[in-house]
Amino acid sequence: MASSPPKKMEEAKRLLEMSYKAEVSSKQQMRWFEDGIELLTGYIADHPSSTLQRYAANLKMAYTRRLLHRLSNMGEADRETWLGQLVLLTIVKSEVTRAIEEEPSLRDGLNAFVGLWKEN
């Protein structure tokens, strides 16, 4: 029987799910995403031989994809929201790169999001 994920990973999943359900422009959404990703990253670093590493990495990837999809559908954003979301994207940079490699259509959405304030 497989063991259940540790509390740290369950908390990360809970935070990421709350982030996904929250309004994309809220500071709390950004905080939940960042905290959830940090918990997963910490778990992966602290447990290099854990059988749950793949689960943690998959959670990071899944919520990075969700974030990319949400941002690609954003028609507008104030500067603070835009910068906050860019910070989140840098936190999961390797996952963003991988997601775009696996789903090239995400690049257009990401470029559209970046273009919202890039010229200003």
Domain for residue 53, yes or no?
yes
pLDDT digits (tens, 9 = 90+) for 84-104: 999 999 999 999 999 999 999
The reported pLDDT for the residue numbered 1 is 38
CB-side exposure of 31: number of CA atoms within 13 Å? 3
Give every CB contact of residue 58 below 8 A, 6+ residues apart in sequence.
none
Q: What is the pLDDT of residue 15?
A: 97
Domain that holds residue 90: 7-115
pLDDT digits (tens, 9 = 90+) for 24-70: 778 899 999 999 999 999 999 998 888 899 999 999 999 999 999 98
Count how many domains the chain has.
1
| Residue, of 78 and 31, whose pLDDT is higher | 31
Q: At what angle do helices 7-21 and 27-46 cross, to 10 degrees?
A: 150
Lowest mean pLDDT, pick from 21-25, 67-71, 105-109:
21-25
Q: Could you tell me the two tokens for 75?
A: 């028609």
pLDDT of 14 > 70? The answer is: yes
Residue type at 98? R
Half-sphere exposure at residue 108, Cβ-oriented, CA atoms within 13 angstroms:
4
Distances in whole angstroms, Cα of residue 69 to Cα of each of 4, 80, 91 = 29, 19, 17
Q: How confident is the model at residue 3 (pLDDT cuts 50, 70, 90)?
A: low
